[in-house]
Structure 1
Amino acid sequence: MSKNKDAAATKAVVDYLNRQNRPYSVTDLLNNMGKEYGKTSITKTCESLAADGKIREKSYGKQKVYVADQSSFPDVDDAELKSMDAKIVELTESVQHVQDKVRRLESELKTLNNAVSTEDAKKETERIENDMVSLQEKLGKLKEGKVLITPQEKDKVYKDRVKYVKEWRKRKRISTDIINAILEGYPKTKKHLLYHLIQLCVCQEEIGLETDEDYSVKPPDI
C-alpha cells in the first residue's frame, strides 16, 4: 500500500475512534468504515497506531479491541458528568415515550387496515337494504295469503315427494327382507341382532344401519 494510502487509513482510523470514543475490533472498524481500506490495511494501521501510543489496544484472549487515547480528550468535571447523566435519563425517557407512541400508532394502523373500507361498507349496506325490501315484499304477500310459487314449481314439489317416499319404502322393504332372512337362522331377537351388528362396527354410520324406529318415523302416505 502506498504512503498516501497508509496516511489516509491512519487518519481515518484515528478520526473514527476519536469521534466514536468507544472500543472496536478490526472487524467492527472494517464494517463501520465501509471496507474502504481492507482488513489487512486496517489491522496493520491499528497495530502501528497502538505501538506509537496514538490509540490504545486491549486484548481479551485472541480478540483485540482498539480505542482512542483518552489523554487526548479534555478532563470532564463532576458537574458536567452529572449534567450528562441527567441528559441521558431525559433522552431515554423521551425515546421510551416515542416508542410507546409508535406502538400505539402501529396498533391503530393494524386495526384500520383490518377494518372494512368505507366503499365496501356502502356496498354491503346497499345489498342489505335491497334484501330487506325484497323480504318485506315477500312477507306482505304471505300475510295476504298469496301463493308465491308457480303451478309448475308446486307440481314438481309433489312429484319429488312421491318419488322420495317410494324410494324410502323400497329401501325399507329391502333392509327388512335382509334382516328377516338373517333372523331365520338367528337364535335371538331382532333387537339383539341389530345391537350385535352395531357392536361389530367402529360406528353405526359405517354400515348405515339405522331404523325408522330409532327416529320414531314412518313413510308417509302418498
Structure 2
Amino acid sequence: MSKQKDCAAFAIILKYLTDQNRPFSAQDIFQNLQQEHHFGKTAAVKALEQLAQDGKIKEKVYGKQKIYFADQEQFTVVGEADLKTLDKQIGEQSEKLQNLQQSCRQMEAELKELNNSMTTQEMSVEITALKQECPLYREKLWKIKSASNHVTPEDKEQVHNERKRYIKEWRKRKRMATDLIDAVLEGYPKNKKQFYEELGIETDEDHSVAVPDM
C-alpha cells in the first residue's frame, strides 16, 4: 500500500473511531469499512497499531485480542447540570415528536377518507345516472301496484299447504326406502355402496339435494 493510501486509511479509521466512540477490534474495523473504502485487513491492523503508537487512539489487550477506541480526553466532560439540561431537551423533543406523530396519523386518516370519497365530477355523473333510473323505477312500481293478477292470501296459503304435503310425503317415502334397504343389507354379502351400484340406486346426496324444512 502506498504512503498516500496509508494516510487515507489512518484518517478514515481515526474519524470512524471518534464518531462511533466505542471499542472495536481490528476485525470489526475491517468488516465495517472495507466494503466502502476498499482496504484490506492488513492495512486496517497497520493503521490501528500506528494510531495507537502515535497516541491518537487507545489500545487495550484482552488475552490474545486487542481492542481500539478513541482517546476520551478529546471529548468534552459533561457535568450533572449539563446532563439535566440534556434530559430536559430530550423530554421536550420527545413530546414534540409524539405530537407530530399524532398529527401525521390524523392527516393520514383524513387522506385515506378523501381517497375513498368520490370526486365532484364522479358525484355529478352518479347523480345524473340516478336521475335517469328514477323514472324507470317509478314506472315499474306503478305497474306492480296496478296489476290485477296479484296472488291472494288464499292462493298463497294453498301453495304453502301443498308444499308441506309434498315435503311430508318425500320424508315418508325416503324413510320407507331406507328401512327396506337396511333390511336387505342385513343378509347382503357386500356393503351398501356396492349394493347401490348393482341396483342403480341414486340418492338425494348423489344429486346434492336434501329434504327442505317444513
TM-score, normalised to structure 2, is: 0.56
Cα shift readout 1:172-198 (whole Å, capped 9, x = no counterpart): xxxxxxxxxxxxxxxxx9564334489
Identity %: 37
The match for 1:74 is 76
Taking a change above 3 Å as real, the CA distance of residues 209 and 48 of structure 1, as seen in their structure-2 partners, is: closer
* CA pair 22-75 structure 1, distance change in 2 beyond 3 A: same
Corresponding residue number in structure 1 for 2:39: 38
- Closer, same or farther in 2 for the Cα pair 1:37/1:50, shift >3 Å? farther
Q: Does 1:193 find its partner at 2:195?
A: no
Quote the residue 1:15 is aligned against: 15
- How large is the Cα RMSD of the aligned pairs? 4.1
Q: Which position in structure 2 is the counterpart of 1:88?
A: 90
Give the Cα–Cα distance (whole angstroms) in 1 for the partners of residues 148 and 173 of structure 2: 50
Match of 1:53, SS state, is coil
Q: Distance in 2 between matches of 1:2 and 1:17?
A: 23
Q: How many residues align?
A: 169
Q: 1:9·1:37 contact (CA, 8 Å) conserved in 2?
A: no
Residues 10, 138 of structure 1: alpha-carbon distance in 2 compared, 3 angstrom cutoff: same
For residue 5 of structure 1, report the CA deviation from its aligned partner: 1.4
Consecutive unaligned residues of structure 2, counting only runs of 5 or more, are: 150-171, 183-191, 194-202
Superposition TM-score, scaled by structure 1 size: 0.55
Shift of the 104–68 alpha-carbon distance from structure 1 to 2, 3 Å rule, reads farther
DSSP-derived class of the 1:56 partner: strand
2:3 maps to a residue whose letter is: K
| 5+ long unaligned stretches in structure 1 | 148-188, 217-222
- SS of 1:75's partner is coil
**What letter matches 1:21 in structure 2?**
N
Partner secondary structure for residue 67 of structure 1: strand
Shift of 1:83: 1.4
